[in-house]
Amino acid sequence: MNHRLSRFRFLALIAIFALIAAACSGDDDTTTGDDTGDTTADTDAPATTQAAGDMQFDGVEVEVLTFTGPQIAEPLQRRAPDFEALTGARVNVTTVPFSELFQNILTDAATGTNSFDAWVFAPQWLVDFAIPGYVEDLTDRVNNDPDIAWDDVAPFFRDFSATYEGTIRAIPLDGDFHMVYYRTDVLEAAGLEPPQTWDDYLAVAAAVNGQDMNEDGEADYGSCISKARGQQSYWWITSIAAPFIQSQGTASGAFFDLETFDPLVNNEGFIRALEIYGETGDYGPPDESNLGVGDTRGLFTAGRCALTLDWGDIGTLALDPETSVVQDKVGAVITPGSTQVIDDSGALVDCDDTTCPFAINGVNHAPFASFGGWSGGINAAADPQVKDAAFAFLSYMTQPEQANSDVTIGITGFNPYRVSQFENMDLWLEAGMSEAAADSYLGAIADSLNNPNMVLDLRVPQNQRYQQTVLDTILAQFVAGELTAAEAAAEIFSQWQEITEELGRDAQLAAYKSTLGS
């Protein structure tokens, strides 16, 4: 009897536990349904980090893929524990080399492996992720998230980098423009002005090359531009070539002809740009062809270079007293321009009111919004609750409270992209910039951002193949002396044409014109 009773009690206990567990899970389901499940189906009430403050993502894990930093990965990894404390969602950041990031994302999604729930990538790749439907449409989520302060994101990053065919597909975390940095003390001592044209750049580099710029007794370099293959070097050539090629405003494009979609590389302007690109090596480190952008940044902040071409990173990296010897010795200018541009036949002609309508003091500038700024996208195949958690994390990262601090820290790799970041000088003064340095740094970015002849990065399908494979390889061959400038231009032309023929000329042209708004 006792035995039966105890068995009965045992079964009763089990039943009670089962009921409690069911009730708890029912509560969880209700919460998910109210706050997240419904969000996915009907994004009237999307998850935000404000709402997430109640640990609504407790137990959720978000796998994020980005490139091997330390830049970009660092702020994601640093802020992940804070986000977990706020929302309960655990964010794991995986990194791969930059050259493998595109392929990793695409194959992960295409094979249905879906190891990653979110990616922080180059927004120019959006087209390849959006067409097969791999990247989630975030429009409703963004529109319903007041904390994200979307209107504060500068229009270019909001409307171009983050958007694909009218829908928001990525959350900007970074703003990218090429600029030329120079050593104010070195140029001042030499009585030189910051370069306005690429010819000026070469002249300044030649004039100061070989000087000891960091008082270590060794000769330093006039120019440092990273030229290693398989890294992020292939963007520089567009910054050098663009002012020779694009002169009629942003919508005219710097990569392809708007009627034939023939590459704009087999012309005197691009060949001249290649020659300049090669000649900068005469005033650079001996192993420049093997240096990545991290290496040249290190050389510049170590005081070994008078000039360099880079994104916004050097402005903040130069502030770090532990790694930089050039605090308050760095100036920045819009990328140099040209006094000549190509005509319809591809020959270089002098700038005048017709050929260079946007010229400043006779110089046609074409600042290159290269890369578009690291942005976060969400895997459309991820679990609905994980998508919400991933969005909440990306929103958290881009909210002014976090972003306005991160863009002032060099190691983050994040550069200003919000209006408040350009307008609030205190941010930069608190980060250690002098007022003059902040003016110069923000001024160079603003000059680029506001330039009517700004160059938009290539966003046609398989742009990565045009640039990261063909352009990168041929530039490496040119730098190594395997090809002359004319041969390199002809090779790029023929191989880009080949890709276009494969993918369909009309479709590529339509995609290109669509990104330019032509």
Q: Which is nearer to other proteins, 159 or 482 (CB)?
A: 482
Sign of CA dihedral 53, 57, 60, 65: negative
Tell me whether residue 436 or residue 507 sits nearer to other proteins (CB atom): 507
Q: Which residues pair with 168 in a beta bridge?
A: 163
3-state secondary structure at position 344? coil
**Smallest gap, in angstroms, from Cβ of residue 287 to other proteins?**
4
Task: Quote the least distance from Cβ 331 to other proteins, whole Å.
Answer: 26
Which of 247, 495 has the CB closer to other proteins?
Answer: 495
237 vs 227: CA distance, rounded Å: 10
DSSP three-state, residue 297: helix
Least CB distance from residue 300 to other proteins, whole Å? Answer: 15
Q: What amino acid occupies position 172? A: P
**Least distance in angstroms from the C-beta of 216 to other proteins:** 11
Taking the least distance from each CB to other proteins, the nearer of 123 and 284 is 284
Sign for the pseudo-dihedral over CA of 350, 355, 360, 361: positive
- Greatest Cα pair distance, the chain, in angstroms, is 108
Q: Which residues contact other proteins (rule: CB under 8 A)?
A: 99-100, 102-103, 106-107, 110, 128, 131-133, 218, 228-231, 285-287, 289-290, 462, 464-465, 468-469, 473, 476-483, 491, 494-495, 498, 502-503
Residue number with CB closer to other proteins (220 or 268):
220
Residue closer to other proteins by CB (options 27, 287) is 287
Amino acid identity, position 260: T
- Closer Cβ to other proteins, 104 or 339, answer by number: 104
Shortest CB 293 distance to other proteins, Å: 14
For the bound state, the minimum distance from the C-beta of residue 327 to other proteins, rounded and expressed in Å, comes to 23
Instruction: Kindly state the smallest distance separating residue 219's Cβ from other proteins, in Å.
Output: 9
Q: How far is CA 452 from CA 149, 364, 367, 509, in A?
A: 26, 11, 9, 22
Closest CA to 77 of 315, 404, 413, 415: 413
Q: Which residues pair with 120 in a beta bridge?
A: 376
What's the CA angle centered on 332, arms 326 and 333, to 5 degrees? 160
Residues written for the chain: 518
Q: Which residue in this structure is represented by tokens 């439907």?
A: 133
Six-digit token pair at 141? 């989520």
